[in-house]
Structure 1
Amino acid sequence: MSEGIFIRLLGEVSAEFRRQDAEEPIDLGPARQRTALSILAAVAPRPVPMDRLVAGVWGENAPRNAEQSVYTYVAGLRRAFEPGRGRREPSRVLAGTPAGYVLQVEPVQVDALLFAEWVEEARRVQRAGDDPQAVRRLDEALALWRGTALSGLSGPFAEAERDRLEQLRLAALELRAESLLRLGRHRDIVEELGDLTRRNPLRERARELLMTALFRSGNPAEALKVYEEGRVLLAEELGLSPGEGLRRCYEMVLRADAAPAPSAPAPQETPHQLPRPLAEFVGRSGEAGWLTERLAPRHETSPSPLVIITGPPGVGKSALAAHVAHLAKDHFPDGQLFVNCRGATPELPALTPLDVLGRFLRALGMPPSAV
C-alpha cells in the first residue's frame, strides 16, 4: 500500500516513508528514473500512458530503447517503494493498467499537489472575506517549497513543470500580499514585495502591490519610482504600456487618495500594443504590400490566420512586421497584441510560451489571479 509515502517535487525530487514520528528516505535512483516518478506524481492517482512518459523524459530525442528504459525505471521505483514485495506479487504502489502506469497515492502525499490544493483553498477563503485564514493557509503552502522545483532534473516535462509550479508560487505570494494589505500589514511586506519585484521585474501585479504597500507606508515618492521603472521596462522589453491595474495604482498615488484594498483589475480596454510606427520606413515595399494584402485583403476574401517572416538576424524582420501591423490594424478593431520575446537580448532570458500567453490574457482583460 502507499500509506506513509510522501513525495517531494518542490525542490530536489525525493520521497520518504513516514512511520509514526520517524521519516525514512527512499532511494529513488538515477535522474531519469526520478523524472519518470515526477511525471507520475504530478497527476497522481491518474494513469500516465507510455508515450507520455517517453515524451516527458526525452522529448523528440528519445532513443530507440526508450520504452525498455521506462520499464527499467518503473521496476526500480517499485523496488524502492515496496522493498519487501515478492517477485510475482503485483505492485500496490505503482500499478500497470491498460490506460498506463498509475502511482497509487493521494494528492496529499505529493507536495506539489498539496501546494496547489492549499493555494486554491486560500483563494476561496479570501473571496469569502477571511484574510487571516487565507494568510495562514498560504504560509503553510509556501513552507512546502525547499528550493527550485524538480531541481537537478532536465527534459521536456521537468522544464515545463518547473515553470508552471514557479508561476503558481509567484501567484501565491501575490495572493498572500493582497490579504496582508487588507489586514493593514503593509509595512511588513514592503521588503518582501521589493524582492519579488526585483526578481520578476515584468510581473505587473507584484509591482502594483509593492506600490500600494509603499504608499500606505508613507512613501509615495518611492511608489512613483517603482511605477516609472516598470513603465520603462515594459516599453523597452515588451513594447507594452502598463496595464489597467498598475495605471490605476499610479493615479491613486498621484491623487494621494486613500489606497483601496487590492482587487482583481477591472476589465481591460481594447488592447493596442503595437510599438510606435517608425518615422521612416525605407525599402521592402514589395514584401510590405504582399503581407498587408494577406492580412487585410482588399477583396471579399478571408485574411490569412498566420503570417511568418523569416530571415537571418539583423535584416529588419521585426521592423517590417511592426510596419505592416500598423498598415493593417484598422482591419482588427478588437485590438492588437504585441510581444518582444527577447530572443536577441542577451542580458535577459527569453520569454517562455507561458509568459507570452499570460501577458496576452491579462491584456485581454483576464484577472491576473485567473491567469
Structure 2
Amino acid sequence: MTAESIFAGRLSSPFPPTDTGDVLRFSLLGPVRAWAGDEEVDLGSPQQRALLGVLLLRRDEPVSCERAVQALWGEAAPRRAGGTVRTYICRLRRVLGEAVGPGGLEIRSRGGGYLLTAYGATVDVDTDRFRERVALARRARGQGDPDAALGHFQDALALWRGTPFAEAQTAYFLTEREQWLRARSAAVEEMAAVQVLLGHHAEAMAALESALAAEPLCERLWELRIQALAGMGRRADALAAYQEVRRLLCAELGLEPGPGLRELHRGLLAREPERQEPAVAPVPGPSWPAPAQLPDAPEGFVGRAAELAEIAARLDRGSPTVLALTGPAGVGKTALAVQAAHALEARFPDGRLYAALSGPDGAPVGLRTVLAELLRAVGVARARPDGPLPELAGLWRSVTEGKRMLLVLDDVADGADVLPLLPRSPGSAALVTGRRAPAGVPGLHSMVLDGLTLPDALHLLGAAMGHERLRREAVAAAGLADACGYRPLALRGAAARLLAAPGLGVDEVVRWWRAGAGVQPADVREAGLMSVQ
C-alpha cells in the first residue's frame, strides 16, 4: 500500500452505540473489532481479525482455504499458511462461541473452505449499516427531503473509525479498502451538497476540507467549497478558491476548469456580495470592537474531519452551548479547538476569545486573572486581577449580554470552576479542553479524543519528515506511529528527532521511542502493515 492510498482514507469517526441485547456487533470500517452487547470481544492477533473480516464480507458464501491464504499473505505465503489459517479458524470459533453461546454464530467447514453463518444471534456489521443508510439518504434526497437525507448521510459516516483493514498489505485487502474508501468519498460529497442546499455552510466546509485533501483534483468538491464560502458571505475567499483550483488544474492536468466551476465564477463576479442575516437577533448592549484573539490556526493540522463536523453541528444551536474536548496529554485537544474556532468564526461576529487556564508549568491560572484578561480584551480597561471575583464575574456577564461570541478555554485543570467564564447569551458558545470534562456545568456536551488514525498519523509524519522518506520506510513509519500511540505531539517529537539526525533510520527511532516510553517492544510489521505472519 502506497502512502497515497493510505492518505486516501483520512476521515474517521467513532462507532455509534446501538441497543444491546442478544446482538454481536462487528466493525470493519476501521480496525476489525466486535462487541457482544456492551462488552468488546477479544478477536486475537491482527491477522486473525483480518481473516474474520474476510468471512464477514463474504458471509453466507464459502471462503476456500486457498482464498484465505491469498488474502492474508498474497504471494508471500509461508509454507504452512494453510495450517495457520486452520488455527485462526479454531480460535475464532471458540471466541465467537463464548460471545454468543453455542449455535448462535458459527464458522462451518464447507467444501474445503469456511462459511460464516448466523442463527439465533443477531449480527450487526457496520458495512451493512453504512450501505443501508447511504441508500436511505439517496432515497430521501430523491423524494425532496434534504433534512432526512442529511441525517442518514451523517449516520452513515459516523460509522467510520479509520481506514478499513489499514494493517493489511496484500492485493486482496488493498482492493477491498479502495472500494470502501470510494464509497465513503461519494457519501461525503453527497452529504456536503445537501449541507450547502440547506445552508449549513460551515459544516459543509468541515467535510470538504479533508475530502479535498484526499482528492484535490475533484472539480465537484471545489464547486461545493466555493458555494459554501459564498453562502457564508465570504465572496472574496470564494473567488480565491476558484483561482486556486484553476491553477491546480492547469498545473497538474493542463486543463481549464469545467463548465460547473466556470458558471460559479461568472455568478460570483456578476453579483454584489449578499448580506448575511444573523441567525440570532442581536440584543442591544455595550459597544466595543469585536475581539479576535484566537491563536493562529495550527500549522500542519491533520485529520479530525469527523470531529470538526461534530463540533460544528453541536455549536449550531440558538442557546449558549458548552462543548468539552477531553483526552490524554498530547492527543491534540488544543489544536482541534483552535482549528474549529477558526473554521466557525463567521458564526460569532461579536468576538472569538482564547484563555489558557493552566500556566506553562501546569499550575492553574486563577479565575480572577482569567476574567480580568477577558474583560480587558473586550475593552474594559479598569478590570484588575486583584478585584473581587463576584464583581469581575458580574461585569463579564454584563458586557457580554446579547453578544454572539466564541470562547476557547484551554487546558482546564481537573475540578476547575469555569462557570463564571461561560457565555450565557443565545448564539454564544464555549470550547473547553482538558483531560476531563469540568464538573457542574449545566447542559455540557463532551467529546473524548483518541489518537489519530493510521492514515492521518502517516500524513503528519510525512509532512514533518518528508513524504519521499516516508514512502521509502513505510513499514517502519507505521510502527513509529503505533509506538507514539498515534498522538500528534509524540509524532512531531519523533519526526523532530529524525530531522535532527538524518542518518538515523526510522526503525531505530521506533526502538528508541518504545524504550523511552516504557512500552514493551512489539513486532513492527504486525503493528504497522500486516504483510508477514
Give TM-score scaled by structure 2 length. 0.43
Q: 1:161 to 1:248 in 2, by over 3 A?
A: farther
* Partner SS for 1:132: helix
Closer, same or farther in 2 for the Cα pair 1:249/1:60, shift >3 Å?
farther
Displacement of 1:73 after TM fit? 1.3
Q: Which amino acid aligns with 1:14?
A: R
What SS does structure 2 have at the residue aligned with 1:145? coil
Report if aligned partners of 1:122, 1:134 keep a CA contact under 8 Å in 2.
Answer: yes
Residue aligning to 1:8: 27
Once the two structures are TM-superposed, the CA of residue 37 in structure 1 deviates from its matched residue by: 1.0
Q: Aligned runs of 1:95-106 on 2, under 5 Å?
A: 95-98=108-111, 100-105=113-118
Residues 108, 175 of structure 1: CA spacing in aligned structure 2 closer, same or farther, 3 A cutoff?
Answer: farther
Cα deviations across residues 218-262 of structure 1 (Å, max 9, x unaligned)? 223222222222222233334444344333333333344999xxx
Runs (5+) with no aligned partner, structure 1: 260-344, 350-371
State yes or no: 1:232 paired with 2:232: no
Q: 1:74 to 1:198 in 2, by over 3 A?
A: same
Structure 2 residue aligned with 1:242: 257
Q: Which residue of 1 aligns with 2:383?
A: none
Q: CA offset at residue 165 of structure 1?
A: 2.1
**Using a 3 Å threshold, how does the CA distance of structure 1 residues 101 and 249 change in structure 2: closer, same or farther?**
farther
What residue in structure 1 maps to residue 81 of structure 2? 66
Deviation at 1:68, TM superposition (A): 1.9
Distance 2:165 2:273 in 1: 43
Q: Given that residues 234 and 242 in structure 1 are in contact (C-alpha distance below 8 angstroms), is that contact kept between their aligned partners in structure 2?
A: yes
Amino acid at match of 1:98: G
Q: CA deviation at 1:99?
A: 8.0
Matches within 5 A, 1:138-153: 138-153=153-168
Match of 1:164 in 2: 179
Offset at 1:201?
Answer: 1.8
C-alpha displacement at 1:83, in angstroms?
2.8
The answer to whether the 8 A contact 1:78-1:91 is kept is no
Cα distance change, pair 117–347 in 1 and its aligned pair in 2 (3 A): farther
Q: Secondary structure at the match of 2:63?
A: coil
Rounded Cα–Cα distance in structure 1 between residues aligned with 2:257 and 2:78: 46
Asked if 2 retains the 8 angstrom alpha-carbon contact of 1:45 and 1:107, the reply is no
2:22–2:100 Cα contact (<8 Å) kept: no
* Cα gap change, 1:188 to 1:34, in 2 (>3 Å): closer
Q: Report if aligned partners of 1:11, 1:147 keep a CA contact under 8 Å in 2.
A: yes
- Offset at 1:108? 6.3
Q: Deviations over 1:96-152 (max 9, x none)?
A: 223842222499611122112211221121111111111111111111122333343
Matched, 1:114 2:129: yes
After superposition, what is the alpha-carbon deviation per residue over 1:18-57, rounded to whole angstroms, capped at 9, x for unaligned? 1xxxx12211111111111111112333332333222211
> Is 2:113 the partner of 1:94?
no
In structure 2, C-alpha distance between the alignment counterparts of 1:128 and 1:111, rounded to whole Å: 25
Contact 1:108–1:114, Cα closer than 8 Å, also in 2: no
* d(CA) in 1 for partners of 2:258, 2:63: 40
> How far off its partner does 1:212 sit?
0.9
Mapped to 2, the partners of 1:224 and 1:24 lie a distance apart of 51
The aligned amino acid for 2:83 is Q
Query: 1:79 Cα deviation (Å)?
Result: 0.9
Tell whether the 8 Å contact from 2:28 to 2:53 is kept in structure 1 after alignment: yes
Q: Which moved more, 1:229-238 or 1:100-109?
A: 100-109
Aligned: 1:223 with 2:238: yes
Which letter maps to 1:75?
C
Kindly indicate which of the two structures has a greater share of residues assigned to strand: 2
Deviation at 1:346, TM superposition (A): 4.6
Q: How does 1:1-371 map to 2 (within 5 A)?
A: 4-18=23-37, 23-83=38-98, 92-98=105-111, 100-105=113-118, 109-256=124-271, 346=468
Counterparts of 1:56 and 1:168, CA distance in 2: 21
**Conserved 8 A contact 1:211-1:227:** yes
Distance 1:254 1:186, change over 3 A: same
Q: Is the 8 A contact 2:71 2:172 kept in 1?
A: yes
Per-residue deviation, 1:70: 1.5
* Range with greater deviation from structure 2 (167-176 or 154-163): 154-163
Higher relative contact order (CA 8 A, sep 6+): 2
Q: 1:37, 1:80 → 2: CA distance?
A: 11
Letter in structure 1 aligned against 2:267: M
Q: Which amino acid aligns with 1:56?
A: A
Change (3 A) 1:245 1:97: farther
Are the equivalent residues in 1 in contact too, given 2:65–2:113 (CA < 8 A)?
A: yes
How high is the sequence identity, in percent, across the aligned residues?
Answer: 36
Aligned length: 257
Secondary structure at the counterpart of residue 82 of structure 1: helix
Asked whether the 8 Å contact 2:24–2:100 carries over to 1, the reply is no
Q: 1:79 to 1:214 in 2, by over 3 A?
A: same
Q: Describe the shift of the 1:184–1:92 C-alpha distance in structure 2 as closer, same or farther (beyond 3 A).
A: closer
Mark the CA change 1:215 to 1:60 in structure 2 (over 3 Å): closer, same or farther: same
User: How far apart in 1 are the matches of 2:104 and 2:184?
Assistant: 34
Structure 2 residue matching 1:5: 3-state secondary structure: strand
Note closer, same or farther for the CA distance 1:85–1:125 as it changes in structure 2 (3 Å cut).
closer
SS in 2 for 1:201: coil
With normalisation by structure 1, the TM-score equals 0.60
1:91 to partner: Cα distance: 8.2
Q: Which runs of 5+ in 2 are unaligned?
A: 1-20, 275-466, 472-533
Q: Is the contact between residue 58 and residue 156 of structure 1 (CA under 8 Å) also seen in structure 2?
A: no
